[in-house]
Every structure is written in structure tokens, then in C-alpha cells.
A and B are shown apart, each in its own frame.
Chain A
């Protein structure tokens, strides 16, 4: 029995003025699978997430989730359908505690009530290692905890698809290892993960499939090692001996 398609981008295009962010982009993702996304800055990676999560409307083409068109479905409704996302720069509700931050997501995105919502929050906080700081105001958290909170909040909505936007950026090596462990466990529960990351090493230890975006188009798609070995990918990334600004940290 074939694995059902969870996410489908059908010839999606988007431009901001003269800048092409997505150029006739097509992509399918199977339920429960993992996908890494690399590409230079301005390649359209975050916009891709925006078009899936509902922040950005595609100029043309269609995004489908679990067989259903997302045209005119707003971000909150997409979240309730099962699309969870994190922001590259964490955006916690700074005036609320870690618990409350996650509770909103469980109650609204996850549509849970009372005890069920609390249970979900406690599960997610323990999964992401935030249980000890449950009552800390999110504004007082450090970077690692904020990144974890982004993941916790997305998980609390009970997603089928988790969009991670550079959650490993700025973290130390042991912190990255911990985060990778959390994400792999989440995927093992059947949640599909799409992960944009400059820290390629973290990606390689997690994803089965990698795409490379450049100029709004997919220039490589396949097994991570194969994609990174493609000449066009090497040229964009490593052409000038090493990683320029925004290049991968190998």
C-alpha cells in the first residue's frame, strides 16, 4: 500500500516585485516522512514555509494538504488542520509563561479542552525538555529554551506536518544534538518533518530526503548525500571554497 501524500505544492509561483521567490515550484511530501531544505539566503526557503503555513499567499499555483486545497484557508485554520510551524527567530508570547504559551496552542491549534489540553501540554513540555521551566515567563528564556518553546508550541497543536525554520541556528554542538534527538522522536511518532537548516550536519542526521532551493526553483532533490554531491549544488554552496554568508556550516 503506497504511503499517502500529505503535502503537495503544484506549480507554485511567487514574486515580490522583480524578485522571484518561487518559480513554478512543485513538490510532494509523503505522510510521516522527513525532508531537509537547504539553499542560499534569499532562495525562497522561508517563503516556501509561509505559503504552506498561510503567512504568504502564492501568486499562482496551488498548495494541497492531505488532499485538500489550502486556497483561501487562513493560517489559524491550517494550524488546526495539522500544519505546525516554528519561526526562524523565535516568537514566544513573552508576557506569558512557557505553560501558557503551549496551552494556547493545545487549546486552539489542537482543539483540546480542559484536562486533555493540560495533558498534551505536559507531554509536549516533557518531550522538549521544558517541564522544569513551565512556569517561567517566556520573555526570560535563553535562546535554546526559546527554540525549544517554538517546537513545543508547534507540537502542542498536534501537527501531522511540522515545519522547522532553522531551529538549530545559533545553538552549540551539544544543544544541536539534543534538538536532533527531540525531532527524531517526534518523527518516529509519525509526524512528517520539513526542516530548513544551514547546519547541514544536523539535517543529515535526521532527514531521508533533501532538496536544494536556489532562485525559487528546486535544483536538487533526493538522498541527502546525493544532493550535496550534485555539481550545481556544490557550485552554489561550495563553489568559492567554503561557505560565504548564509552558506552551510559543514
Chain B
């Protein structure tokens, strides 16, 4: 019965990973930037919520409404200024620049909030759960995170498939120059994609902050998990990203079940296995050149 529990908890954890990975995947797929500061921005999102809102249960939920749009705006500006400029120099420059941003964010947070861990006060929500049977308890909060992840990915993929802006994002991701030749204002569209990516990063950071303690350096581990989820799922596929997140969550949870010290390692091993045997990921990108 413990195994059922491990699987369920793994899927719930995977929802969080999928939420993390979504922004990374979008920013890489459309904008062409591998954002090494991804995890740190997520943590920054959590700190921004701590800073803006005194810790009471209702306020923590308000943060969900305010912080992602704020980050979206910030992401647009960052893309139109710093990231766009570094992209014009070379793809390698974007790695250096985002690595630099990561250092700046980590140390800025350290300076402002000290190295102590923080967490959100979401009141009784953090402990409340429902019992499926004696050995299987499901936390409302973690279930909520998984549902939010699924909702975000569904809305996003509908948006990309159907909307006027979404179709431009796909065109730009495919061939930026040809998109421009079709009249697409590529800089603006890339900025919009970055805005969406940053809004989801903030959302992931908030979800993380509600379910775990976070400190200024927490971002690095989050970046790694997000990367792994993206690679397992297949770069450029949103549903693959969800799958990748769930698989990573499962691997960690089952590993943990075998031996508590094995959890994270099991996730890495699955990631390495996918990289070795199926480097395009489980769901290869739609593009078939």
C-alpha cells in the first residue's frame, strides 16, 4: 500500500515540477534563451509575495493574483532590453547573462532577507488533507498545485493553438525571420512569450513557497528539476513537459520509498536514462522538418 502512496505523492510532486518546467520550456522554445536564472526567479517570486503581503492565509492566496502578472510585466521588459540585446550578440551571451542574473538575484535576496528560510503562511491549508484509506492521504494544497499545473498547461496550449497571438508565437518559434516577413512584430511577440514564461515562473515559485521552505539559494535545485522535466518530456512540447514533470516526481517519490536517501538521485537517473536512450524526449516537438 505504501507503493500506491508513493505513486500518488510522486504525481502530486510532479505537478509542481511541470509548473516549474513550463516557463523554461517556453522561453527556450520561443525566445531561444536558456534561462539559468529560472529557479532563482521562481524563488524571487516567492520573496516578492512575502515582501508585499503580510503573512496571513488569505493574503498568500491574493499573492497568486498579483505576483504572476507583475512578473509577466517584468519578463516582457527584461526580454525587450537585456535578453534581446544579448541574443543579438550570440546565444552563448544569453547563458552568461542569465547566469549573471542568477548570481545577482541570489545575492540580492541574501542581502535583503538573510540566509534564513521562509515560507508562506497558508494557514490550515498546508496540513489539511483527505484520507483515501489508512495509508493514503492526499494534501489539498499539493492536489491544488497539480490541478493548477494541468490548468495552466491546458490554457497555454489552447492559447498557442487558437489565438491570434498564440499562432504568432508558434511562427516566431519556428522561423523568426520568415515570421517577420509575414508581418509579425517579432520583438513584441517574443516579449509576450517571455512575459508568459515569467508569469508561470512566479506561479511555480508561489506554489513552491506554499508547500516548502525556501531560502535565497533554493533556486539552483529548482532549475535542475525544471531542466530535467523539460528534457524528459521533450523540448518544445507543453504536454511533454507535463509528462516530464510527472515522471520526475514519480521517480523521486518511488526512489524515496526504496530508500529515503535515493529520492533525488532516482530522478537524476531517470533523466540520464532518457538523455541516453531517447534524447529527443518522450514527446518530440511537433516540428517535423
Contact = CB atoms under 8 A, between A and B. Distances in A.
Interface of A: 53-55, 74-76, 79-80, 85, 87, 91-96, 100-101, 103-105, 107-111, 137, 139-140, 153-154, 156-157
A94 B178 CA distance: 11
A104 B179 contact: yes
A79 B180 CA distance: 8
Interface in B254-289: 285-289
Is chain B's binding surface mostly helix, strand, loop or mixed?
helix
Contacts of B173: 95
Contacts of A156: 182
A153 B182 CA distance: 7
Contact of A76 (B164, B170, B184, B288): B184
B167 A103 contact: yes
A94 B182 contact: no
A94 B174 contact: yes
B127 interface: no
Given A76-B186, A94-B289, A109-B183, 5 more contacts: A96-B171, A104-B171, A139-B287, A139-B288, A140-B288
Contacts of A93: 170-171, 174-175, 178-179
Interface residues of B, number: 23
B181 interface: yes
Contacts of A109: 182-184
Contacts of A87: 178, 181
Contacts of A54: 180
Most buried by B among A76, A111, A140: A76
Interface string B185-223: 110000000000000000000000000000000000000
A158 B98 CA distance: 40
A96 B167 contact: yes
Interface string B114-145: 00000000000000000000000000000000
A244 to B, nearest CB: 30
B167 A139 contact: no
Contact of B182 (A79, A95, A139, A140): A79
B168 interface: yes
A96 B183 contact: no
